[in-house]
Structure 1
């Protein structure tokens, strides 16, 4: 891995060699998004919920192009909902683009998260990646790209060649002298390979991604096909229970996640229907006792609607259903129900 770091540093250094300082100073522009949701859910376990949810980020970004055509830029994403100074920054990184591809350095999701392709979904809830727990009590949820968060890392992407692109990321462990690293546990390596191409009105996207940390790893496959106003796609992933677990871990979980969806776009409106399945098999670390083991399983369906009201303003809604079967140390812990969520998504 050190050889990769040295090679990447040398690549960037050679690209900058001999530069005259005639490029313009970087000026940051402001962007981001705000999402505000209101919803109601009925569930068997616990009381029904009437809830509000929000997600807001402010983004600062800017770049400059050097005399040899190499682009150098930066991006900073700030969370818009409370938190202390240590949690206000979501992502912050610099990037270098050129004929050699792209190099990114800083705190961001990494190659596996950036390159993972999932099925289409236009509503605010969806079936993938953890939105459902905002509204109901569940033991597991589908997440086919469970990448390692905004750890400080070095990432390299190759140029696109014939529709193919590869990426590789490396994040240091938390024993680094950089005391504010986000990563916990051992060194984290993630990567991916993707293919995107249009064939006479039919667009195809395929990704193979994965990540290794500690004694385990996860890997996933995703694909989408677009034709006319339709987009169809899905993804599947497997996670080793040892992924990210330290020596003091009290529980390991092997997970299997799957989702599939179809979307139809018509002028300013689009609609999607998606199905997700997740299975989480947990065992107390070092134990073979069935009483300390359990399997959480969930099936969920989401009907989503999005309608563009104007530039940067979209009204979105979801109607969802779920059936969650959970076990904790052999005790049944099931829940099922349905709900509806609506609200506005603003981009700026």
Structure 2
């Protein structure tokens, strides 16, 4: 990343003139700009009836950070990640840039506080199964095949929240976060007491998480765990009898030894995001090896869902993938994945006579990091 020192002294003086109560610091802000650009070409062969067999896409992520340190030792600032629109269609929608991560923070010897749109602590501390490059059979590949995430229910959510992290002590760190409204971010005013049919039927989400890292000679251990739970917005008898409770937890760990990394991840979503009486669990294992500019990996993911409310039991979705990455030059890498999947839970939008979606996904990526 390149650092750009701004003339903050002049800005602070101007702000102080506008408001006599403005708190100032002699230390200037350091503004850091960085990011990545990912150009993908994808080939898919599956049982979806109306899906194209090839796709090309560009995903860019720009990170912006402004940080300062006060004379009393307090570190504070702003952090954001800007991305192009991934969910729209057409060039006009794709040219819209939005920020999924955006928060202010304060930190010191007592820990760190984040205020804004960021991940819950359980997601920050999750230890995923190892992967290289694109990620093989991790949660992200489902975007291309129309399948759901192979991770815990609140993976990748950037709702507005309050977060606290403890300092790191002997390799151990913990945290807690509070999200007033599920699905509410940025300038959204989630004042409605009841939300129906939107998937954001929960409020007052509490998340706990912890991680531990330790090295024993050539062996590196990393472990993490987290849990999140919340309340239903609508507590009427009709909703409570059909909407599943919100509670998800997960654990994961990896072991590294001389270029090899092996590990796994397990989650239990319970009824979260499902109907009352449904249940969902999943797990993943992975092994990677890195030497010089080359890295290779293989992993396997499995999700088992019981749709008791629909009379269907033991739907199993599996995916396993092989991947490689090559560092062609500083900041430039070539990456490739092949993923084999079989989703019993995908029962609609299929070709005639097909009861589940199975297929193969190839992805080739050119990635630039700066």
CA distance in 2, matches of 1:218, 1:153: 18
In the alignment, which residue of structure 1 is the partner of 2:72? Answer: 68
Cα shift at 1:96: 1.3
Q: Would the aligned equivalents of 2:208 and 2:227 in 1 still touch at CA under 8 Å?
A: yes
In the alignment, which residue of structure 1 is the partner of 2:171? Answer: 163
In the alignment, which residue of structure 2 is the partner of 1:193? Answer: 210
In the alignment, which residue of structure 2 is the partner of 1:231? Answer: 261
Cα gap change, 1:179/1:84 in structure 2, threshold over 3 Å: closer, same or farther?
Answer: farther
Cα shift at 1:118: 0.8
Q: Secondary structure of 1:186's partner?
A: strand
TM-score by length of 1: 0.81
- Which of 35, 41, 58 pairs up with 1:54? 58
Cα shift at 1:302: 0.7
Q: Secondary structure of 2:107's partner?
A: strand
CA distance in 2, matches of 1:96, 1:294: 48
Q: Would the aligned equivalents of 1:155 and 1:168 in 2 still touch at CA under 8 Å?
A: yes
- Is 1:206 matched with 2:223? yes
CA distance in 1, matches of 2:361, 2:227: 33
Unaligned runs of 5+ in 1: 1-19
Instruction: Give the 5 Å matches for 1:269-280.
Output: 269-280=294-305
- Is 1:259 matched with 2:284? yes
- Is 1:113 matched with 2:116? no
Q: Secondary structure of 1:127's partner?
A: coil
CA distance in 1, matches of 2:305, 2:95: 34
Instruction: Give the 5 Å matches for 1:1-348.
Output: 21-46=24-49, 49-81=53-85, 83=93, 88-134=98-144, 136-138=145-147, 140-144=148-152, 146-147=154-155, 149-173=157-181, 180=188, 185-214=202-231, 215-241=245-271, 243=272, 253-284=278-309, 290=311, 293=312, 295-326=314-345, 333-348=355-370
Q: Would the aligned equivalents of 1:174 and 1:181 in 2 still touch at CA under 8 Å?
A: no
Q: Would the aligned equivalents of 2:152 and 2:248 in 1 still touch at CA under 8 Å?
A: no
CA distance in 1, matches of 2:120, 2:150: 20
TM-score by length of 2: 0.77
Cα gap change, 1:343/1:252 in structure 2, threshold over 3 Å: closer, same or farther?
Answer: farther
In the alignment, which residue of structure 2 is the partner of 1:13? Answer: none
In the alignment, which residue of structure 2 is the partner of 1:10? Answer: none
Unaligned runs of 5+ in 2: 1-22, 86-91, 191-199, 232-244
In the alignment, which residue of structure 1 is the partner of 2:195? Answer: none
Q: Would the aligned equivalents of 2:159 and 2:183 in 1 still touch at CA under 8 Å?
A: no
Q: Deviations over 1:222-261 (max 9, x none)?
A: 00011101011110000021x367xxxx677421111000
